[in-house]
Homo-oligomer: A and B are copies of this chain.
Amino acid sequence: MAKDLVFGIDIGGQSAKYGIVNMAGEVLAQNKWETAVPPTDAQVYIDTLAKALKDLLVKSGINSERIHGIGVGAPNGNYYHGVIECAPNLPWAHTRVEFAKMLEEATGFPVKLTNDANAAALGEMKYGVAQGMRDFIMITLGTGVGSGIVIGGQMVYGHDGFAGELGHTVAVPGGRPCGCGKKGCLEAYCSAIGVARTAREWLEESKEPSVLRDVPKITSKDVYDAAKKGDALALRVFEFTGRLLGTKLADFIAFSAPEAIVLFGGLAHARDFLTKPIVEAMNEEVLPLWKGKVKLLYSALPEADAAILGASALGWEA
């Protein structure tokens, strides 16, 4: 029987999304496993996941002989070794887990693993706005800031498999402490958490009126809603966030001279407020030879499928 299908699995802190994908990038079946309190033991986690994959095959009436392999996107996932290492948001992977090997044993399918942002970039290259592009940089703007870099049609994994940590380059020297232990990282400002924090800091520092003053625990969604209502402070938060990101994108362009930057993730929903400051700052800060030349794109993959599709793209390499 032709091995014409793959599993794509997107592993997050409190959920795992998984689906069965064909060569055209259609998600034939999918499911989500939510775990408010994830297991702390890796074997337990992997056995539960393996069972969930088998259940999905059964439920969808798909013969397991058709599965070519499994592609996995996970925080701190390493492409070369198939391990997940020191992932702060995965209680079962605080040290080092031989994830690919363990999932292969539990399922009988070959497994390829990378980090979630790389998986997103692979999905975008195979099925999304980056189809046919050989050089682009994917920036995932979610709870954190991740990145996947494609150069000459190849995913950049680097010497050790951990390349593409652009969220932890310095946006503000000596700035806010970041979860990684450094100061002033891009992630500390241009993530969902960073946006909320900027709003909270600015509200504390001034007496400027804002609808956000009535919100008890401000999230980036609250700032977005306030901006939509025309709240001046919220609008300035996005202006500031966008300019900071645009300035860093100019640096990234100097590195790999991409055809496009692709934005993805929850915060990218605020594109109406972000695009102008990002593009302006990027073109102000980039070398003259690139001014106005590098495209800023937003992922157009269907939200529910994007993470699964991204991970599945790696399944064909398994």
Identical chains in the assembly: 2
- Closest chain-B Cβ to A62's Cβ sits at a distance in Å of 35
- Closest chain-B Cβ to A113's Cβ sits at a distance in Å of 16
Q: Does A289 contact B (CB under 8 A)?
A: yes
A149-B256, A160-B289, A163-B257 known, 8 other contacts, Cβ within 8 Å: A151-B158, A152-B154, A162-B290, A165-B254, A169-B251, A170-B247, A170-B251, A173-B247
Whether B257 contacts A161 by the Cβ 8 Å rule is: yes
Q: Does A302 contact B (CB under 8 A)?
A: no
- Closest chain-B Cβ to A155's Cβ sits at a distance in Å of 9
8 closest A-B pairs by beta carbon, nearest first, are: A158-B257, A163-B257, A135-B159, A159-B259, A169-B251, A165-B254, A163-B256, A169-B254
- Bound Cα distance A181, B286 (Å): 10
Q: How many A residues touch the partner, as a band?
A: 35 or more
**Chain A 151-186 interface 0/1 with B at a Cβ cutoff of 8 Å (1 = within):** 110101111111111101110110000001110000
- Closest chain-B Cβ to A156's Cβ sits at a distance in Å of 6
- Bound Cα distance A135, B158 (Å): 6
Whether B257 contacts A182 by the Cβ 8 Å rule is: no
- Bound Cα distance A292, B170 (Å): 19
